[in-house]
Structure 1
Amino acid sequence: MRTALVVRGGWEGHAPVETTELFIPGLVDAGFSVSVADDLDVYLDAELLARTDLIVQCWSQGELTDAQGAGLLAAVRAGTGFAGWHGGVVGTFIANSAYLRMVGGLFLFHPDRFLEYEVVIEPGRVAHPIVAGLGDFTVDTEQYWMLSDSMNDVLATTSFTPSAGEHGPGHVEMPVVWTRRWGAGRIFFSAIGHRVEDLRQPAVHELTARGLVWAAR
């Protein structure tokens, strides 16, 4: 049986307990033994991480010590999968540049209000197991503007319209879902997930659940 470790905490506005609870039953159904940690010192336990096939992280606006970060990165480099969504991955640990290199992106901004926007599956990635058969879909939630790494394998994007006085006319294509590698480890990230109801939307829930399983060792 494979093992999954859910690491959750940080800013309560992203409902780390409620959102991660949406996916634990699916992980169990997929054959994982699931444990939960609410302390970042779990990343110091090298033996535990070495036995872990998947880390699901939902920890927004946090601080990662050098030792915690080194433990996490070493585990993923050795083959432990790492997955998560929204600010729980790219809106946290911003002082730890090594962590940001591993996850491949950094949240910068979102408009003050929720927006209805289309999430477009990249034409060349429609057969990828995370998004196969899903098609484009619409969400009404925060739209994330991020810096992202060219090493990311982007599976889905959205068209972002900059505000007046910013980048000028036109649209900016912004990644929504990506995967990448860190050593032997697989990484999955989705920008959608500010609220529990965002992750309950069928297309969002399906691609997120698939992404977690895909990332596992």
Structure 2
Amino acid sequence: MNIPQRRALVVRGGWPGHSPEVATELFIPHLTETGFEVIVEGSLEVYADAELMASVDLIVQCWTMGEILPDELRGLRAAVAAGTGFAGWHGGVIDSFRVATDYLQMMGAQFAAHPGDLVDHTITVLPDRADHPVVAGISSISLHSEQYWVLTDSAIDVLATTEIHPGPGDPWAHPVVCPAIWTRQWGAGRIFVCAPGHHMADLANPDLAAVIERGMAWAARDRADEPS
């Protein structure tokens, strides 16, 4: 059976504080090495290109904040629902397009805050999800970085969590457990999210980098399952 080469679309831009170009360049070589043809776009207009989107097997988005036009969002949602994988980390996927409610619904999560700015914290893999291919062999990841407080729904498959502790003067009295790594099925498409990833040092952490690389692979459409 002749399996066509898969295509990955990397869409990067938005708020420059998350260094979208530098951050995505860390993972483009891995995509190429694992057999993807990689297309890089610095505009959301690509999401409205129905022909191109239908040919893409994975979208890696790194676009913090900003606004997305209705035809761009429709194109993105249609592609994912039809089987295109969608993957990313930190604000590049869960702090994108804050007023686009249809995007938030697709993602099933939204950044709310990062109390304490940069803090020491741990990402802990849930014991009953330890055999998932995205996190297999990784029990915890320690970081000194932003710790995302996220608002989520019940349709995400949580693989790892983090516990946010109140500090002096904080208005919540008890530790809050938030999802940190999760997957989601959206129509025929798979979504992967890694909430950590603020600093380049975070993305260079071997375990976190492995989770992101595995997450992209997990989310991508598998052409081998299609009839020849």
- In the other structure, the counterpart of 2:36 is 32
The aligned counterpart of 1:149 is: 153
Q: How does 1:7-86 map to 2 (within 5 A)?
A: 7-86=11-90
The equivalent residue for 2:172 is: 167
> What RMSD in Å do the two structures reach over aligned CA positions?
0.9
Q: What is the Cα deviation at residue 149 of structure 1? A: 1.3
Q: What amino acid does structure 1 have at the position aligned with 2:68?
A: L
Could you list the runs of 5+ residues in structure 1 that have no partner in the other structure? none
Q: What is the CA-CA distance between 1:112 and the residue it aligns to?
A: 4.2
CA–CA distance in 2 between the matches of 1:157 and 1:55?
24
Distance 1:148 1:179 in 2: 12
C-alpha separation between the residues in 2 aligned to 1:59 and 1:36?
13
1-structure distance, mates of 2:175, 2:159: 19
Cα offsets for 1:45-71 (capped at 9, x unmatched): 011010000000000011011111011
Match status 1:202 vs 2:206: yes
- Paired amino acid for 2:172: H
1:24-47: CA deviation from partner (whole Å, max 9, x where unpaired): 111111111101000100000011
| One-letter amino acid of the structure 1 residue matched with residue 82 of structure 2 | A
TM-score by length of 1: 0.97
Out of 134-143 and 68-77, give the one that drifted further: 134-143
Aligned position for 2:96: 92
State TM-score, norm by structure 2: 0.93
Unaligned 5+ runs, structure 2 = 222-228
Secondary structure at the counterpart of residue 162 of structure 1: coil
For residues 91 and 157 of structure 2, the distance between their equivalents in structure 1, rounded to whole angstroms, comes to 19
Identity of aligned residues (%): 51
Paired residues in the alignment total 216
Q: Secondary structure of the equivalent of 2:97?
A: coil
2:139 and 2:29 map into 1 onto residues whose CA distance is 25
Q: After TM superposition, which residue ranges in structure 1, 4 or more long, deviate above 3 angstroms? A: none
1:111 deviation in Å? Answer: 2.2
